[in-house]
Amino acid sequence: MIEINQLEKHFDGKQVLRGVDLEIAPGTVLGLLGQNGCGKTTLIKCALGLLRPTGGSATVLGDDAWHLSADTKARLGYVPQEVVSYPWMRVRQVIAYTAAFYPNWNGPFVDELCRRWRLPLEDRVGPLSVGQLQTLGIVLALGHEPELLVLDEPVASLDPSARRRFLRTLLEIIDQPNRTVLFSTHITSDLERVASRVAILREGRIVFHGELDSLKERVKRLHIASRQELPRSFSVPGALRCEVEGTAATVSVGDFDDRLVDEMQTTWDAEVTVHDLNLEEIFVEMHRGNSEFGLRSSE
């Protein structure tokens, strides 16, 4: 669906994307996770031909992103971070206006979404709240039932119950076969519900891309309680983080397996307890310090 190779983007000498590689297969729901300012929006805009990359390439549904055909555009849905619409029009009119561009617009589905999300159809767009505007943006992006749906921080301005309603709808959308979704967020709990894969963008590079389940199975925090003082040289191969104090140590590893525990128990004469980490904790672990972490992306 999307193929990104060695994508680079500079803004006035500031390098935002530093060689991003990312491939999104049909039927995938990929959550793009990253801190504010790490380049998520820039990456999405380059991937959709809204920004011209400085280097590398981006391909969407077989088209070069900068030269998308009308046909390809009709198969795409995009919700920008800040939805811009026509303030003087009524909600109903904006929807009718957008629908006119798409031969395959699903009117009943859109009506249903508007009802479910309580969009005030007769209100003018101008005075809508940020959340309502975003909801409108989502409705407009879904109306032609795109094969590829791209959402940039789709729920950032929604309140918790609106967010949950939106997630429900998103889940219904992805329940149809071969629907591909790319969404960026920093709300890890939404990603955990919806995404099957996760890509983590840090300082303009993808530092992890793989299945969410395998990420959770591989990244673990180990507590080591030794019967003797641990040496200063204490280290664990492939550790994301390692803290030692007296006879105890806390180590986060990116490639956990049971043998590691056995090894540590014998090497350090220690009790080792393994703690599962959720996505938020994994994200924080990966953003501590500035080392390159020993985390390989998985297929």
Structure tokens at 134: 């975003």
Minimum distance, C-beta of residue 82 to other proteins, in the bound complex (Å): 26
Minimum distance, C-beta of residue 192 to other proteins, in the bound complex (Å): 4
Give the residue with the Cβ less far from other proteins, 194 or 251. 194
Q: Which residues of 246-293 form beta strands (DSSP E)? A: 248-253, 270-276
Other C-beta atoms lying within 10 Å of the C-beta of residue 189: 13
According to DSSP, the β-strands at 270-276 and 76-79 are: unpaired
Minimum distance, C-beta of residue 281 to other proteins, in the bound complex (Å): 7
Give the residue with the Cβ less far from other proteins, 130 or 274. 274
What CA–CA distance (Å, rounded) separates 43 from 32? 10
User: 201, 197, 176, 172: which is closest to 186 by C-alpha?
Assistant: 201
Minimum distance, C-beta of residue 118 to other proteins, in the bound complex (Å): 16
Give the residue with the Cβ less far from other proteins, 118 or 275. 275
What CA–CA distance (Å, rounded) separates 103 from 267? 67
Under DSSP, is residue 44 helix (H, G, I), strand (E, B) or coil? helix
Minimum distance, C-beta of residue 61 to other proteins, in the bound complex (Å): 22
Under DSSP, is residue 198 helix (H, G, I), strand (E, B) or coil? strand
Q: Applying CB under 8 A, which residues contact other proteins?
A: 29, 164, 167-168, 171, 174-175, 188-189, 192-196, 212-213, 216-217, 271, 273-281
Give the residue with the Cβ less far from other proteins, 9 or 221. 221
Give the residue with the Cβ less far from other proteins, 193 or 288. 193
